[in-house]
C-alpha cells in the first residue's frame, strides 16, 4: 500500500503520513523481532539494526535533499516496483 501511494504521488496531510509510517514501523519492527535467531545476542542484533537504520535514514535524507524533477520520476518507479512486489508476495509469485 505504501508503494502504491508513492507510485501515484498521493499528497497526504502530514498527520496521515505520520500515522501510515507509524503503523508500517510497528508491524515491520514486530516482523523483525519475531525473526531474531535463538543463538543471536540481543545487544549485537539490536546494534546491527540501529546501524542499518541510521544508514538507511542518511541515504533517504541525502536523496530528499538532492531531489529534483528526475528524483520524482525515480521515486514513482520505485514505489510502483514495491507495490508490484507486494502483490506478488500476496499471490505467492515472488
Q: Provide the CB-side half-sphere exposure for 67 (13 A, CA).
A: 12
Residue 11 gets the label, from left (phi > 0), alpha (psi -120 to 50) or beta, of beta
Q: Rounded to whole angstroms, how far apart are CA atoms 84 and 10?
A: 17
Please name the residues in contact with 9: beta carbons below 8 A apart, sequence gap of 6 or more.
72, 75, 76
- Residues 41-55 have pLDDT tens digits of 878 888 888 898 888
Residue scoring higher pLDDT (36 or 14): 14
Of the two residues 67 and 42, the one the predictor is more confident about is 42
What's this model's pTM, rounded to 2 decimal places?
0.53
Amino acid at each position: 500500500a505504501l508503494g502504491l501511494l508513492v507510485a501515484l504521488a498521493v499528497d497526504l496531510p502530514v498527520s496521515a503520513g505520520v500515522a501510515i509510517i507509524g503503523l508500517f514501523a510497528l508491524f515491520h519492527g514486530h516482523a523483525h523481532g519475531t525473526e531474531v535467531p535463538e543463538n543471536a545476542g540481543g545487544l549485537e542484533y539490536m546494534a546491527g539494526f540501529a546501524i542499518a537504520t541510521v544508514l538507511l535514514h542518511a541515504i533517504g535524507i541525502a536523496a530528499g535533499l538532492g531531489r529534483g524533477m528526475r528524483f520524482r520520476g525515480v521515486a514513482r518507479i520505485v514505489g510502483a516496483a514495491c507495490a508490484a512486489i507486494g502483490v506478488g508476495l500476496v499471490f505467492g509469485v515472488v
